[in-house]
Amino acid sequence: MANHKATKKDARQATKRRERNKYYGKTTRNAIRDLRAASGTEATDKLSSVESMIDKLAKRGIIHRNKAANLKSKLAKKLNAETAK
């Protein structure tokens, strides 16, 4: 455990950040899961909000920007394939 006052504060802040990042990540994963399960116009409506969530994760550094791009690409590809049928 930390002994210095500043190090203790840093540990507290790191815990807060970790919890916050876990929340954002889990919320986004749930939204992606719901989007994949959705179909039709409902999926089209959800796509923009899910893409926004993914972009925010990348901006905050929770996920890498390339992973964010890959996720968005896969979701758009799946949605376009469904609507083309």
* Residues 44-85: tens digit of each pLDDT: 899 999 999 999 999 999 999 999 999 999 999 999 998 887
Domain that holds residue 60: 5-84
Q: How many domains does the chain have?
A: 1
What is the percentage of the chain residues whose pLDDT exceeds 70? 99
| pLDDT higher than 90, residue 42 | no
Predicted pLDDT at 1: 66
Q: What is the residue-wise DSSP string for 6-74? A: HHHHHHHHHHHHHHHHHHHHHHHHHHHHHHHH--THHHHHHHHHHHHHHHHHHHHTSS-HHHHHHHHHH
Instruction: From 83, 80, 57, select the one nearest 69 (Cα to Cα).
Output: 57
Instruction: Return the CATH number at 25.
Output: 1.20.58.110
